[in-house]
Chain A
Amino acid sequence: QVQLVQSGAEVKKPGASVKVSCKASGYTFTGHYTHWVRQAPGQGLEWMGWIGPKSDGTKYAQKFQGRVTMTRDTSISTAYMELSRLTSDDTAVYFCARSSGWPYQFDYWGQGTLVTVSS
């Protein structure tokens, strides 16, 4: 069955970077987009961007341009999201999600990774 398993919780200091992983199984990793979404405490979901399945590249939400990098290692079916220059506003649960074909709804999600930014 399709599974997206994310790395564990992180605690970071302001100004640091965090890298979250998302390991896919149960489907052809190179056939789907991987998205990253976050949810800050008491807030709604916020889309951060996607990385394409093959050579489609990346697309980042304008808010995170210059601060987020999404990569993938197809040999181990794993996607990564790195966010730099962290502030307390980045404290959130970060999710990866898969989209299939048009209209690219998010049909499977990871369990979430809590990132806490605190001095």
Chain B
Amino acid sequence: DIQLTQSPSFLSTSVGDRVTITCRASQGISNYLAWYQLKPGKAPKLLIYLASTLQGGVPSRFSGSGSGTEFTLTISSLQPEDFATYCCQHLNTNQYTFGQGTKLEIK
């Protein structure tokens, strides 16, 4: 099975900061990657799919890039509502896998 490894696991950051989260796949997955935002007690939210396509309604401060084995999620200017956990996902209908998550904390 393909493994996804995110870095960092935790990030202490401030409103207005530019944030970059990395997701590395154990083997090439082309651009079959999605990013989600997770908040406690809420339904996860799809942000990006196919590595760089922004889901409708998601603010443009979120962007994704990468292909093959290395991917990044960037938040250009962190807003208070962005403090959450972010998770990548390999899009494979036979075996979806998720990264372990990156938690953004207020500095």
Which residues of A does B touch, CB under 8 Å? 4, 33, 35, 37, 43-47, 50, 59, 61-62, 95, 97, 103-112
Q: How far is the CB of A104 from chain B (nearest CB, A)?
A: 5
Q: How far is the CB of B41 from chain A (nearest CB, A)?
A: 8
Q: How far is the CB of B64 from chain A (nearest CB, A)?
A: 12
Across the interface, name the chain B residue whose C-beta is closest to A52: B93
With A59-B93, A59-B94: A111-B50 Cβ-Cβ less than 8 Å: no
User: In the complex, what residues of A have CB within 8 A of residue B32's CB?
Assistant: 103
* Interchain residue pairs with CB less than 8 A apart (5): A44-B101, A45-B87, A103-B32, A110-B43, A112-B41
Among residues 53 to 107 in chain B, which have CB atoms less than 8 Å away from a CB atom of chain A?
Answer: 55, 87, 89, 91, 93-101
Docked complex Cα distance between A47 and B95 (Å): 8
With A50-B93, A95-B44, A112-B43: A107-B55 Cβ-Cβ less than 8 Å: yes
Majority secondary structure, B binding face: loop
- Interface size (B, Cβ < 8 Å)? 25
Docked complex Cα distance between A108 and B54 (Å): 15
User: In the complex, what residues of B have CB within 8 A of residue A112's CB?
Assistant: 41, 43
Q: How far is the CB of A101 from chain B (nearest CB, A)?
A: 11
Contact of A106 among B41, B46, B101 (CB under 8 A): B46
Q: How far is the CB of A55 from chain B (nearest CB, A)?
A: 16
Residue from A44, A103, A105, A107 having most chain B Cβ neighbours under 10 A: A105
